[in-house]
Structure 1
Amino acid sequence: MTRVWFITGASRGLGRAFTEAALDAGDRVVAVARNLEPLDDLAGRHPADLVRLPLDVTDRAAVFATVGKAVAAFGRLDVVVNNAGALLLGMVEEATEEQIRAHFDVNVFGALWVTQAVLPHLRDQGSGRILQITTMGTGGGFPMVGLYAAGKSALDSISDAVAMEAEQFGVKLTIVQMGGYDTGLFTTGTTATTPDPNYQKLRDQLIEMWGEEAGPAPATAAPVIMELVDLPDPPRRLIVGGASFDIVQQSLGARMGEYRAWEHLSRRAAG
């Protein structure tokens, strides 16, 4: 069956890769982004199967209106991919209130508005998939990307609740925890704080640790997403990337080790 996709942040990175993979599979796509020009080539190759709609996901009214247009375009929605996102890079102390609020407006509230807008349509048709694109780093904060991880962690928690609330209507949700891909997030999608010299030593250590490797191309993740949406009983969470899987496993193991080391103190309190 030909599926209809609704993909946010579709003009670049992972969103572009997922859009292209869906179209190549014979599906139809409603691609939304603030700048649609990078999708001109796909529109030329798939004129009947690709609808492009401009959208800033932080505008809740615009999100609901755009979802309505998307449903009208093809009559239904089968796969919703909440991919639009941004990166706030810097130490927590350095970030301004304006930067933090703008960051959460995109990464948390933008995805929340899309989720709220599509749920009535998916519920009415009795089916649908929601893929919440988060990160393998939601298991805990990390220097310089703590606010990014916090936003994605909030989306993880909201998505857990949505998955349990919507399952009764035939709607299935997967939290897709992406590894590091060459999406341009660290360039065009980044807001950087003004560096505080007190953190320079740590900043230098982190930059050296991360190196200059941009990561694999987003297209290498697309086959996993295509297989995921074919599963009749998809997982609630999926880590995308072998190296990322290992890092998450190590991180969770270290956390459980710390919990066990202090279990005696935890059990001194009632509850």
Structure 2
Amino acid sequence: MAKIIFITGASRGFGRIWAEAFLKRGDKVAATARNLEALKPLSQQYGDALLPLQLDVTGKKASFEAINKAKEYFGRIDVVINNAGYGLFGAIEETSEQEARDQFEANVFGLLWVTQAALPIMRAQGHGHIIQISSILGVVTLPTLGVYNASKFAVEGLSETLATEVKDFGIHVTLVEPNGFSTDWGGASAIHSTQLPVYDGVRAALQATATPDAFGVPEATVDAILKLVDEQQPPLRLFLGKVGLPFAKQQYAERLATWEAWSAVADAAHGK
């Protein structure tokens, strides 16, 4: 049975690749973009199977309207993929107030509005799957991406909580954790804070670790996403790529060792 899928940020990158993959196999897609021109080729090829919607997810009212238009057009929404967002590059000290607020508006609040809009529809249906595109940087961190890291950590906490709240309504939640992929996430889609020379060494050290093999091929994610969408009991988290899970395991081993080393101090702080 064809799925009805609502996906944000479908003009390029993962969103565009996945939207086209869904349409190609016969699913119906409500695809959002800030510029609808980017979706014209898909509209021309797939006709009524695609509902293109202009949307800036940072607008709560607009996000609710887009979800409701998709429901009215297709009759239901089986899957919501919150893919819209971008990367903010800059050390914590370098990041301006506006840059930090804009990052959270797009990556956290935009995702929240779309999620809130979809939940009543999915509850009424008795089924649904909300897929939040997070990042390996929502599990562990890298320097000079601090506010981006923080936005994805917020998505993790919000979505893990959501999963416990809606499971009895037949609604599943999955956090997708890509490692680096060869999209324009670090290029045209990114925002860069004004750099302070004092952090040049930190940037250089990070860049030295970015070998070509560390970045996955975006198109190779299609089979994983199709499998995730079709899964009857989807996981809470799905890593994409070969780099993320080993990195997370290494970091968590170090965290656990530190926590254990300080466990006596922690126990004493309980007071009884």
Aligned mates of 2:224, 2:145 — CA distance in 1: 26
> Equivalent residues in 2 for 1:21-170 (5 A)?
21-170=21-170
- What corresponds to 2:193 in structure 1? 193
1:175 equivalent in alignment to 2:175: yes
Decide whether the 8 Å contact of 2:177 with 2:244 is kept in 1: no
Decide whether the 8 Å contact of 1:21 with 1:223 is kept in 2: no
Aligned-partner SS, 2:254: helix
Give aligned-pair identity as a percent: 40
Aligned-partner SS, 2:48: coil
Q: CA deviation at 1:208?
A: 2.3
- What corresponds to 2:245 in structure 1? 245
1:209-246 residue CA offsets vs partner (Å, 9 max, x unmatched): 22567823322111101101211111111111122111
Structure 2, unmatched stretches of 5+, are none
1:219 equivalent in alignment to 2:227: no
Q: CA deviation at 1:140?
A: 3.4
Q: CA deviation at 1:175?
A: 0.9
Decide whether the 8 Å contact of 1:94 with 1:195 is kept in 2: yes
| TM-score, with length taken from structure 2 | 0.95
Q: CA deviation at 1:10?
A: 0.7
Aligned AA (2:33): A
Moved more, 194-203 or 112-121: 194-203
Aligned mates of 2:149, 2:50 — CA distance in 1: 32
Decide whether the 8 Å contact of 2:32 with 2:55 is kept in 1: yes
Aligned mates of 2:99, 2:213 — CA distance in 1: 26
1:162-188 residue CA offsets vs partner (Å, 9 max, x unmatched): 111111111111111111112211112
Aligned-partner SS, 2:187: coil
Aligned mates of 1:55, 1:214 — CA distance in 2: 32
Q: CA deviation at 1:205?
A: 1.6
Decide whether the 8 Å contact of 2:140 with 2:248 is kept in 1: no
Decide whether the 8 Å contact of 1:182 with 1:214 is kept in 2: no
1:25-56 residue CA offsets vs partner (Å, 9 max, x unmatched): 21000000112222222222111211100000
Aligned AA (2:166): A
Aligned mates of 2:159, 2:96 — CA distance in 1: 27
Aligned mates of 2:228, 2:156 — CA distance in 1: 18
Decide whether the 8 Å contact of 2:95 with 2:193 is kept in 1: yes
